[in-house]
C-alpha cells in the first residue's frame, strides 16, 4: 500500500502555504491534523526549495524544525525531515525522525551520506541538479527519463559505497526540480522505467507548477489539490512507496476509492453495506 506523506512547511516562504505553520505551536497542531486526515508520515521542513528560494542557514533551519519534530515524535507520529543539511538531519533523527528526505540526494552536503548511513533511517534520495536559484537553467535533457534514471543510478552507487544500506534507500524522480512541465509529465508517464533500479520510489507532485496545465489559467494554487490526488492514484497504481502531498484528506479519499475497487476485484468479493439507490 502506498504511504501518504503529509507536507509540513515550517517556513515563511513556501510557494503554497508559506507562513501558515511558521510558529512551533501552529506547526505541531497542523502536523497532528495531517495525521488525523490520514497521513502515514509527516514531512517536516524548515527551508523552502521552491524555484528562486533563498537559502536558510542550518542553525535557523534547526531552530524551526527540531521543536516540532520533538513534539510530534513524542505523540507517536512517524516523522520525516525534509533537509539537505547533514547537521539538521542528524539533529532531527536524534529528536525522533525516522526518515531523511533529502532533495539533493546527498549532493548538497558531502557529509549527508555518512549521517544517513549511521542513522539507519530510511533515506529518500531525490534527483537533483542544483539549488533553487540555479536549477531552472539546468533543465536540459537528451531524454529526461533515461537521464534521470542514469543520474539516480549513479547516486545509488555513491550512497551505498558510503555505507547507506540499499534496504534503507528510497528514490524520488524530482518532479519540478530542474524540470520543465513536459519533463514532469513524461516522468510521471514512465515511472515503470525506474523499476529496474530495484528500489522503492516516492512521488512528489503536490501543487507544483506543471499541475496547473490541467486547470484554468486563473486557478489558484489550492486548485491543484484535485489533480494532485489523481496523480497520487496513478503513482500508487505504478507501485510508488509513498506520495508527498499537502492535501492529505483528498489523497486519503482517493486511496480509499482505489482500495475498494481493488477489493472488489478479488474472487468472490461482495459488499452489500452500501445498499442500493432508489
Q: Residues with catalytic annotation?
A: 208, 244
Q: Do the beta carbons of residue 145 and residue 186 sit within 8 Å?
A: yes
Residue among 160, 140, 157, 159 at smallest CA distance from 148: 140
Q: Cα 112–232–70 angle (5° rounding)?
A: 45
Instruction: Give phi and psi for 253, each to the nearest 5.
Output: -60, -45
Backbone angles phi, psi at 82, to 5 degrees: -95, 95
Question: Residue by residue, what is the 3-state secondary structure of 230-272?
Answer: HHHHHHHHCCCCEEEECCHHHHHHHHHHHHHHHHHCCCCCCCC
* Three-state SS letters, 98-145: CEEEECCCCCCCCCHHHHHHHHCCEEEEECCCCCCCCHHHHCCCCCHH
Dist. CA 137–CA 19, nearest whole Å: 28
For 245, list phi and psi in degrees, rounded to 5.
Answer: -140, 155
44, 8 Cβ separation under 8 angstroms = yes
Give the C-alpha separation, 254 to 126, whole Å.
25
Q: Which residues of 141-159 are buried (b: 16+ CB within 10 A; e: fewer)?
A: beebbeebbebbeebbeeb
Amino acid at each position: 500500500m502506498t504511504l501518504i506523506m503529509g507536507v509540513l512547511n515550517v517556513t515563511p516562504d513556501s510557494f503554497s502555504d508559506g507562513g501558515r505553520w511558521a510558529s512551533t505551536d501552529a506547526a505541531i497542531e497542523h502536523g497532528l491534523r495531517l495525521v488525523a486526515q490520514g497521513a502515514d508520515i509527516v514531512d517536516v521542513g524548515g527551508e523552502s526549495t521552491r524555484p528562486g528560494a533563498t537559502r536558510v542557514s542550518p542553525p535557523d533551519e534547526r531552530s524551526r524544525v527540531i521543536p516540532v519534530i520533538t513534539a510530534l515524535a513524542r505523540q507517536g507520529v512517524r516523522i520525516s525531515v525534509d533537509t539537505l543539511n547533514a547537521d539538521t538531519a542528524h539533529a532531527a533523527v536524534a529528536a525522533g525522525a525516522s526518515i531523511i528526505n533529502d532533495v539533493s540526494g546527498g549532493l548538497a552536503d558531502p557529509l549527508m551520506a555518512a549521517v544517513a548511513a549511521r542513522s539507519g533511517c530510511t533515506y529518500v534520495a531525490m534527483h537533483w541538479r542544483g539549488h533553487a536559484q540555479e536549477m531552472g537553467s539546468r533543465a536540459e535533457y537528451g531524454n529526461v527519463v533515461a537521464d534521470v534514471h542514469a543520474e539516480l543510478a549513479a547516486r545509488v552507487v555513491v550512497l551505498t559505497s558510503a555505507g547507506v544500506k540499499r534496504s534503507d534507500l528510497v528514490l524520488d524522480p524530482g518532479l519540478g526540480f530542474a524540470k520543465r512541465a513536459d519533463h514532469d509529465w513524461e516522468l510521471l508517464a514512465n515511472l515503470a522505467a525506474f523499476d529496474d533500479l530495484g528500489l522503492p520510489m516516492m512521488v512528489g507532485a503536490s501543487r507544483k507548477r506543471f499541475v496547473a496545465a490541467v486547470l484554468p489559467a486563473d486557478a489558484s494554487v489550492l486548485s491543484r489539490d484535485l489533480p494532485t490526488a489523481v496523480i497520487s492514484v496513478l503513482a500508487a497504481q505504478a507501485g510508488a512507496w509513498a506520495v508527498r502531498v499537502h492535501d492529505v484528506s483528498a489523497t486519503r479519499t482517493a486511496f480509499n476509492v482505489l482500495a475498494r475497487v481493488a477489493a472488489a476485484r478479488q474472487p468472490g468479493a461482495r459488499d452489500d453495506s452500501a445498499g442500493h439507490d432508489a
